Amino acid sequence: MKFGGSSVADPAKIQHVARRLVEAKQRGLRVVGTVSAMGKTTDGLIDLAHQVSPTPNAREFDMLLSTGERIACALVAMAIHDLGQVAISLTGSQAGILTDGAHMKAKIREIRGDRVKDALDEDKIVLVAGFQGFSRDTMDVTTLGRGGTDATAVALAAALGAACEIYSDVPGVFTADPRIVPNARKLPTISYEEMLEMSASGAKVLMLRAVELARNHGVRIHARSTFSDEEGTWVQEGASMEQPIVSAVTHS
Ligand code: ASP
Ligand code: MG
- Let me know whether 14 and 135 are in one domain: yes
- Let me know whether 203 and 251 are in one domain: yes
Range of the domain at 227: 166-252
Task: Encode pLDDT of 43-86 as tens digits.
Answer: 999 999 999 999 999 999 999 999 999 999 999 999 999 999 99
Q: Which atom of ligand 1 lies closest to the CA of 40?
A: 4
User: Which residues keep their CB under 5 angstroms from ion ligand 2?
Assistant: 5, 36, 42
- Let me know whether 196 and 149 are in one domain: no
The percentage of residues in the chain with a pLDDT greater than 70, rounded to a whole number, is 98
What is the pLDDT averaged over residues 156-177? Answer: 95
Evaluate: CB of 149 within 6 angstroms of ligand 1. yes
Number of domains in the chain: 2
Which ligand neighbours the alpha carbon of 43 most closely?
1
Q: What is the DSSP letter of 192?
A: H
Give the number of other CB atoms < 10 A from CB of residue 121.
9
Evaluate: CB of 130 within 6 angstroms of ligand 1. yes
Q: Which atom of ligand 1 lies closest to the CA of 145?
A: 9
Report which protein residue has its CA nearest ligand 1's atom 7.
147
Could you tell me the CATH number of the domain that includes residue 198? 3.40.1160.10
Instruction: Tell me what pLDDT residue 188 has.
Output: 95
Evaluate: CB of 35 within 6 angstroms of ligand 1. no
- Let me know whether 28 and 89 are in one domain: yes
Last residue of a domain, one of 135, 162, 189: 162
Residue 241 pLDDT > 70, yes or no?
Answer: no
Give the number of other CB atoms < 10 A from CB of residue 55.
8
Strand-pairing partners, residue 74, are none
CA of 193 to the centre of ligand 1 (A): 23
Last residue of a domain, one of 162, 196, 220: 162
Instruction: Tell me what pLDDT residue 239 has.
Output: 64
Instruction: Tell me what pLDDT residue 245 has.
Output: 80
Instruction: Tell me what pLDDT residue 193 has.
Output: 93
Contacts of 26 (CB under 8 A, 6+ apart): none
- Let me know whether 4 and 59 are in one domain: yes
- Let me know whether 240 and 182 are in one domain: yes
Report which protein residue has its CA nearest ligand 1's atom 9.
146
Task: Encode pLDDT of 107-148 as tens digits.
Answer: 999 999 999 999 999 999 999 999 999 999 999 999 999 999
Evaluate: CB of 148 within 6 angstroms of ligand 1. yes
- Let me know whether 30 and 124 are in one domain: yes
Task: Encode pLDDT of 140-165 as tens digits.
Answer: 999 999 999 999 999 999 999 999 99
Amino acid residing at 165 = E
CA distance 87 to 135: 26
- Let me know whether 248 and 125 are in one domain: no
- Let me know whether 11 and 92 are in one domain: yes
CA distance 115 to 117: 5
CA quadruple 178, 184, 187, 190: dihedral sign: negative
Last residue of a domain, one of 162, 180, 199: 162
Q: Could you give the 3-state DSSP secondary structure of residue 167?
A: strand
Instruction: Tell me what pLDDT residue 240 has.
Output: 62
- Let me know whether 1 and 84 are in one domain: yes
Evaluate: CB of 192 within 6 angstroms of ligand 1. no
- Let me know whether 125 and 5 are in one domain: yes
For the full predicted model, state whether its pTM sits above 0.85: yes
Burial 33-46 (b: 16+ CB within 10 A, else e): bbbbbbbebbeebb
Evaluate: CB of 172 within 6 angstroms of ligand 1. no
What is the pLDDT averaged over residues 91-110? Answer: 98
Instruction: Tell me what pLDDT residue 90 has.
Output: 98
- Let me know whether 110 and 96 are in one domain: yes
